[in-house]
A and B are shown apart, each in its own frame.
Chain A
Amino acid sequence: MPGVYVLAEHDRGVTDPATHEAFTAASALAANLGESVVAVCVGSFDSDFEIACSQYGISEGIILTSPLITDYGPEIWGQAVADLLKLCDPRVIVAVGTDKGNEVLAQASARSDMPFVANCVEVEHKADWAITRTQWGGSLLEDVTVSGDFLFLSYAHHAVEPVPSATPSEVTLQLLEVEVDSALTRTLVQERTTLTEGATLSTASVVISGGRGVGSADAFAPLEELAELLSGKVGCSRAVTNNGWRSHADQVGQTGTRIAPEIYIACGISGAIQHWVGAMASKNILAINTDPEANMVTKAGYAVIADLHEVVPAVIDEIKRRRGTT
């Protein structure tokens, strides 16, 4: 069956919300190419997948199964997706450019010796594929042509706004058994530890970050308190990690975590490009900075030109006051 095949990303059956971006983008691409959309799920069947397909108007779903695919494994997933080329007749296989999405497509493309173009923002097919993709974490765009009929491509994460279908679709699911090399089980996830409950930096709806202007590791306490009040997460800039004030896991930026919260509160962050590309997908940005000319301030929708050490406690007090907790 020809079509635009789109990979659903999931963790042990729980669909990653980023999949919605992939579904939306794939549907648009399919419309453009005059193709239908086929959603693909590797390894596990869960009602989540079907629901997502339905929400996004996708009526065909394929579940690639094998007794060997007991969990996530980049090689085994990649091999399964590569097998689609033999089993079906995809025009293109797409995913969202999360770490996992890119990893699986890289594996699949390597195993099928097909091109893979990561982090695309625009895709057209004329004589060749004409693609615009991001470089430098989104600071630059690259127009590239790719020869050949088939390719793998991922859409830059946070570049597509998920748009559920107005009318949910009936979903036909097909189970496809794939034959995968048992040796590839060598890279199945062996063990997991859960670090945090609830929202993570990349999924939080409120992220409060501190930069060099915070001044020390201890001075992050008010930011922590505010994050807790708003059920948000605390992030930081590269300068902070370099100073050893916070762990790299909290770093927002090109080489850290990319975030897309409802509101990003950047405290004492100048807004170097490395940081900005990690934060630019935020829906709203509030910069708290003493320097009205700081990059972060000029790029933010909202700003308070003042010392974060005065403003943050005041905000905490105000929230407590309104909630009647003081």
Chain B
Amino acid sequence: MRILVCVKRVPAPGSRINVTEDGLSVDTAHLGFTTSPHEECALEEAAQLIEEHGGSVCVLTVGPAEAEEQLRYAASVGGTDFSLVLNDTGQDWDPQQTAASIGEAVHQLEAETGIFDLILFGNESADAGGYQVGVRVAVALNRPIVNGIKGIEVEGESLAASREVDGGIEVYSLPTPAVLGIKEGINLPRYPTMKGRLASKKAEIQTTETKVPAGTQRLVRLHRPEEKVTETEVLGDGPEAATKIVDLLDELGVL
């Protein structure tokens, strides 16, 4: 199986995300960077699939040169080939631009090495959360895509992909080549081993530059939502608070 996994470098923030003074980006002075959680799972899923079925996992990212860190991380947890589409503008491209740049990169990669049986995206990125890049790429490639996937079974030339919905599970059957948007929970991603980390330093990373069309969305500013100041009412400091808790449940009509 030839699998492509698209990942995004995102900051790993604490419980309060600060914005730079110009309002145009997250203040990452104190922060490390990571791969969006859904994509970490996508990568893990790809690694497991090739462990079972054989093949390769190409990992692609669109971002600054520093995104090499995420590709090396991917190399330490099962990635085999690596491609960095350089965006050195200092700002994320909008979803249409990002999808266009990935689409172009996929064309190029496939021209060089062959069609990917499966392209995996995260359901949405941890930061921007645009919910559409994978879909746009799939549509441009005219390949089927389903989002929110929490299970993949390979069934010959097709894939059974399942996702959780309220009250149950939906199963889709997609012919390959296919695209899936992966959701956290599909697996528990492995951590890199020390050997894996050391080996990842030798991974070859192909960097490409691309021209993207003008975007339609322009970031004006980021800001934090107004914090709701909550007055906390203490119902007690021991089991005797049970009476008051049950009173409250009654009051709210859920008893």
Contact = CB atoms under 8 A, between A and B. Distances in A.
Q: Chain A interface secondary structure, helix, strand, loop or mixed?
A: mixed
A141 B222 contact: yes
B127 A135 contact: yes
B166 A230 contact: no
B218 A145 contact: yes
Given A140-B223, A301-B233, A187 B146 contact: yes
Among B144, B150, B167, B172, residue most surrounded by chain A Cβ atoms (within 10 Å): B167
B196 to A, nearest CB: 20
B232 A75 contact: no
Question: Which interface class (under 10, 10 to 19, 20 to 34, 35 or more) fits A?
Answer: 35 or more
Interface string A254-277: 111000001100000000110010
Given A109-B132, A116-B132, A304-B241, A191 B184 contact: no
B6 to A, nearest CB: 15
A317 B168 contact: no
A286 B172 CA distance: 39
Interface string A84-117: 0000000000000101101101110111010111
Interface string B108-148: 00000000000000011011111110011011100011111
B245 interface: yes
Interface residues of B, number: 84
A305 B237 contact: yes
Contacts of A118: 124, 129-132
B169 interface: yes
Nearest to A79: B139
A137 B129 contact: yes
B242 A192 contact: no
A286 to B, nearest CB: 7
B220 A145 contact: yes
Nearest to A313: B239
Nearest to A147: B216
Given A140-B222, A262-B253, A315 B246 contact: yes
A189 B148 CA distance: 13
Given A103-B146, A262-B253, A300-B232, 17 more contacts: A75-B144, A102-B147, A103-B148, A140-B19, A141-B222, A144-B220, A189-B171, A193-B168, A200-B167, A248-B184, A286-B245, A301-B233, A304-B235, A306-B236, A306-B238, A311-B245, A314-B242
Interface of A: 11, 16, 72, 74-75, 78, 97, 99-100, 102-103, 105-107, 109-111, 113, 115-119, 130, 134-148, 151, 154, 186-196, 200, 202-203, 205-206, 230, 232, 241-242, 244, 247-249, 251, 254-256, 262-263, 272-273, 276, 283-284, 286-287, 292, 295, 297-306, 310-311, 313-315, 317-319, 322
Interface of B: 13-17, 19, 26, 37-38, 94-96, 99, 123-124, 126-132, 135-136, 138-140, 144-148, 150, 160, 163-175, 183-185, 188, 216-225, 228, 230-243, 245-246, 248-249, 252-255
